[in-house]
Amino acid sequence: VTTVDPALALWLALGEAHAELSSHAQAHAARHGLSLAELAVLGALDRHGPLLLGELQRHTSVSSGGATFLVDRLEAKGLVRRKSCPDDRRATYAVLTAKGGRRIGRILREHTVVIRRACSALTATRQRSATALLRALANSQPGADTTRRSPTD
């Protein structure tokens, strides 16, 4: 009766679903003393190995200052280390420390379980349907793209 437009309904549902899953993911990250953004950084380093801060920025959809900030904090926690790039003196790598590597492995495995449970209302098949629809929604947007995503992520 209220919301007539299907697009509007979709936007609303998207917000609620995102909030719901976020709260689970965030709660789990917090149990390990991490923000979701920090977890994303650690995850990116785990997947891709050492990354320049700029690359990290693109992988995690965070601002330039945000990347510096996050690496600062993870460095303070002893999970990440900076390493200057030999080929380009402006550039800096973020690298997992041994401790960081160990911790992030455990955490990511747990994280998968958390997400899986949070999505358990949908069968795997419907999860895939939803994923496909959401990708179509996200990828075909006109413009204003500040962050380049690697298509094979």
Partner DNA sequence: CAAGATTGACTGGTCAATCTTA
Partner DNA sequence: TAAGATTGACCAGTCAATCTTG
Residue 87 dihedral angles phi and psi, to the nearest 5°: -80, -20
63 makes contact with DNA (CB under 7 A): yes
Give the separation between CA 94 and CA 55, rounded to whole angstroms.
Answer: 10
Residue 62 beta carbon to DNA: minimum distance, rounded to whole angstroms: 4
Which of DNA, a copy of itself, none does residue 141 bind (CB under 5 to 8 Å by kind)?
a copy of itself
Which of a copy of itself, DNA, none does residue 37 bind (CB under 5 to 8 Å by kind)?
DNA
Reduce the DSSP state of residue 68 to 3 states and report it: helix
Q: How many C-beta atoms lie closer than 10 Å to residue 28's C-beta? A: 19
5 makes contact with a copy of itself (CB under 8 A): yes
61 makes contact with DNA (CB under 7 A): yes
Which of DNA, a copy of itself, none does residue 27 bind (CB under 5 to 8 Å by kind)?
a copy of itself
Applying CB under 7 A, among 3, 22, 35, 120 the residue interacting with DNA is 35
Binding to a copy of itself, residues 22-81 (CB under 8 A)? 23-25, 27, 47, 61
Applying CB under 7 A, among 69, 81, 97, 118 the residue interacting with DNA is 69
Binding to DNA, residues 79-118 (CB under 7 A)? 82, 85, 88-92
The pairs formed by 18-24 with CB atoms below 8 angstroms and a separation of 24 or more are 20/118, 21/115, 21/118, 21/119, 24/114, 24/115, 24/117, 24/118
The answer to whether the CB of 127 falls within 8 A of the CB of 45 is no
Reduce the DSSP state of residue 93 to 3 states and report it: strand
**Residues within the interface to DNA (CB under 7 A):** 35-38, 52-54, 57, 61-72, 82, 85, 88-92
